[in-house]
Structure 1
C-alpha cells in the first residue's frame, strides 16, 4: 500500500454510534459498494456484526467499542497479513483509501464474508490445520511497520511482570480461600494451590535465562506479532486449509503465546494433557515454522506456568461468571486440576519430546 494511502485520514465520522439503519447506511456510504440489504448477525462483548449484501457480494461490517487508533493498528496488521499471503478474509478500503472508520469511542471495519466448514477442537485433522495456520500467521507477520497513529499492544519482555502479578493474585486468593473453610471450591483450591505457586515461581526464575531474553530481542528485530487470543471461533476450513474469517486482535509478543493458548484450550476440552495430541499439534506447527530447542524451552516455561489455575481462581473469587453455579465452578476447577497434574510427566521429558517433534515435522532440532 502506498504511503499516500496509508496516511489518509482514517477517522471519517463523528457523533453517532447507534445501531439504527440510518446510522449504518451513513457508515457504509464511505465504501464503494451499492448496498442491497443489512442484517444484524450478532451483538456481544462490545462488538456488533452485520451481514451486508452488496453488488460485489456479501460483506461483514464490524462495529467495535474501542478507540479508532486501536482499530487502526488491527486493520493495518490485517492488511499486512493479507498482503503477505496469509489465508485471511479481504479487508476493504473506504472511498478515501482508509481501512477503518472512527466514530467517537467506536470503530468500524468492512471485510468479505467467508464461507467454510466449521472447525472444532476435537477434530485431529483440523487441529493440524489450525497449528499450520498459526505458523503461517507468524511468518506472515514478520516485517510489520505499524502505521503512524495506530495504537499497538505488546507484552514483549513483559512476561516477568505478568507472572509476578498472577502469582501475587494467587497468593491473595489463597488467603481468601483460607477464610472460607466450608466452601467446597476453596477446599479443593487450597489442596493444590501450593503446588501451582511453586511451579509458577520456578517458571518466573526460568525467564531470567538467555533463551527468553534472546528470543525477545530477535522478535523485536523481526517486527512480528501474534494473536491476542488464538481461537477456532475466527477460523473456518476452506480449500483444505484453515482460513481466518476475522482478525479480532493482535499484540506484539513471542509466537509461543499463541501456541500455549491453543494447547491449553484443547487440553482443557480433553480434560487431560494428552501427550500424543500435543506432539501432533507441535509437529504441525514446526513443519511450517520450525522452532529452535531454546524456543521450545520458552514454550515449556509458559506451559508450566499455571495460567489455567490462576484464571479459574480469578473468575471465582471476583465473581466474574454470574451465570455459573457453584457446581459449575467446581467442575471447571476439577477439570483444570486434572489437566495440570497430567501435564507433569510431559514437562519433565523436554529433550525426548522435542526430538520427537523434530523427527516427524522435518524441522531442525537447533534451528
Structure 2
C-alpha cells in the first residue's frame, strides 16, 4: 500500500514538472468514480490537477473541446497546456488535465431563477460548441445517427425485463413494472418511428455540418454561481450529439426530483433556453420525441433487474419506480400539446 502511495506521489510530481508553474503545495481533494483530483498551489494561483481513467486520446478530445469553449468565451475554468504545448498528459490507461480552481456559490435545483440562468448557460454552451475541429488522432465520441440503435436496445431490454418480471409477480417492483411496461414500450416504439422522419434527420445533418457537441449530462454539480451567473468549474466529457440531448436529460432529471412533470416550469425553462439559442418547431419535435421515449423507466428497471445498486434496499427501488411512473404519467399532457407549447415558448416573457 505504501509503495502504491509512493508511486502515485512520484507520478504526480512528474506530471506537475511538465507545466510552467512553480508548485508550492499539493493537496488531495477527491478520489471517486475513476477520477482523482488535487489542489495545486502555484506561483500563478491555485490549480486543479485531475487524473481520469479514460484513454489518453479520449481525454485529448475532451480537453480540446474544453479549450474550444474557453476560446469562444464560455464562462468556465481555464484549462492549461504543458510547457511543450500539450493539452493533457497521457499515460497507458489514464490521463491528466490541469485547470484553474474557481470559487463560487452552489447552484441548486429548487430555485427557478437559477434554473432559468442554467438553461441560458446551456444555450450558450451549444452555440459556443459550433465550429469545433478536433485534432486528427483524438478519440471522439458520437451519438449522431445512433439514436435508433440505442432506442432499439432499450426496447429489447424492456421486453426481456418483462419476461423476468412475469416470473416474479409476487415482487412489488415487478407488479408496478408490469402494470406500466406495455405503455412504456408503445411510447418507445412511437418515438423510434419518429426518428425516421425529416426533423431528426435534418437536425443530425445540420449538427454534423456545424461541428457542435453536447455535454451529455448537465448536472448542476459541475456548475457554480460566479457574479450571479453560472460558471463551469469542471468539465468531464462531451459527445457529438443534438443539443436536445442535454435538454431532455436535464428536464427529466429535474422533474424526477419534483416527482411530477411541471408543465409551466418546463415551458419557462425552454423559454430561457430559446431566448439565447432559438430552436425551430421541427427541432422541438425531436426533443418531444426524445422526451416521449421512456428513458427513466428503462433506467430504473435496468438497475433493478441487473442489481446494479447493491446498496439500495427493495424499498428504495420501489420508491424510485413509483417516482418515475408518476413523472412519466404526468408528462403525457405536455407531450400531446407541442403546437400550443411551441407558440408559448416563442412568446418568451422572460
TM-score by length of 1: 0.93
Alignment of 1:226-237 (within 5 A): 226-237=214-225
Q: Which deviations, in whole Å up to 9, do the C-alpha atoms of 1:204-254 show, x marking residues without a partner?
A: 111111000011011111111001211111100111211111111000000
State which of 210, 224, 240 in structure 2 corresponds to 1:252.
240
Structure 2 match to 1:107: 95
Residue 55 (structure 1) aligned with residue 55 (structure 2):
no
Structure 2 match to 1:162: 150
Moved more, 68-77 or 17-26: 17-26
Q: Which deviations, in whole Å up to 9, do the C-alpha atoms of 1:46-71 show, x marking residues without a partner?
A: 11111111111110000000110000
What is the CA–CA distance in structure 2 between the aligned matches of 1:247 and 1:17, rounded to whole Å? 26
Q: 1:89 to 1:209 in 2, by over 3 A?
A: same
Residue 308 (structure 1) aligned with residue 275 (structure 2):
no
For structure 2, list consecutive stretches of 5 or more residues without a partner in the other structure: none
Instruction: Give how far 1:156 is off.
Output: 0.6
Q: 1:248 to 1:305 in 2, by over 3 A?
A: same
What is the CA–CA distance in structure 2 between the aligned matches of 1:108 and 1:17, rounded to whole Å? 17
Instruction: Give how far 1:360 is off.
Output: 1.1
Asked if structure 2 preserves the Cα contact closer than 8 Å seen for 1:17 and 1:106, the reply is no
What is the CA–CA distance in structure 2 between the aligned matches of 1:350 and 1:91, rounded to whole Å? 40
Q: 1:319 to 1:19 in 2, by over 3 A?
A: farther
Alignment of 1:236-315 (within 5 A): 236-315=224-303
Instruction: Give how far 1:300 is off.
Output: 0.2
Alignment of 1:35-114 (within 5 A): 35-114=23-102
SS of match in other structure, 1:53: strand
Alignment of 1:191-206 (within 5 A): 191-206=179-194
Instruction: Give how far 1:19 is off.
Output: 6.5
Asked if structure 2 preserves the Cα contact closer than 8 Å seen for 1:139 and 1:289, the reply is yes
Alignment of 1:127-138 (within 5 A): 127-138=115-126
SS of match in other structure, 1:20: helix
State which of 14, 23, 26 in structure 1 corresponds to 2:11.
23
What is the CA–CA distance in structure 1 between the aligned matches of 2:55 and 2:61, rounded to whole Å? 10
Moved more, 20-29 or 265-274: 20-29
Residue 149 (structure 1) aligned with residue 137 (structure 2):
yes
Asked if structure 2 preserves the Cα contact closer than 8 Å seen for 1:273 and 1:340, the reply is yes
What is the CA–CA distance in structure 2 between the aligned matches of 1:354 and 1:214, rounded to whole Å? 19
Residue 318 (structure 1) aligned with residue 299 (structure 2):
no
Structure 2 match to 1:119: 107
Instruction: Give how far 1:114 is off.
Output: 1.1
For structure 1, list consecutive stretches of 5 or more residues without a partner in the other structure: 1-15, 363-367
SS of match in other structure, 1:110: strand
SS of match in other structure, 1:86: coil
Structure 2 match to 1:4: none
Instruction: Give how far 1:21 is off.
Output: 2.4
Q: 1:19 to 1:45 in 2, by over 3 A?
A: farther
Instruction: Give how far 1:23 is off.
Output: 2.0
Instruction: Give how far 1:20 is off.
Output: 2.8
Alignment of 1:328-339 (within 5 A): 328-339=316-327
Q: Which deviations, in whole Å up to 9, do the C-alpha atoms of 1:316-348 show, x marking residues without a partner?
A: 000000100000000000000000000001111
Number of residue pairs the alignment of both structures matches? 347
Q: Which deviations, in whole Å up to 9, do the C-alpha atoms of 1:161-203 show, x marking residues without a partner?
A: 1100000000000000101011110011100000000000000
What is the CA–CA distance in structure 2 between the aligned matches of 1:114 and 1:264, rounded to whole Å? 29
Residue 341 (structure 1) aligned with residue 329 (structure 2):
yes
Moved more, 16-25 or 333-342: 16-25
Asked if structure 2 preserves the Cα contact closer than 8 Å seen for 1:17 and 1:103, the reply is no
Instruction: Give how far 1:17 is off.
Output: 10
Asked if structure 2 preserves the Cα contact closer than 8 Å seen for 1:286 and 1:361, the reply is no
What is the CA–CA distance in structure 2 between the aligned matches of 1:42 and 1:94, rounded to whole Å? 23
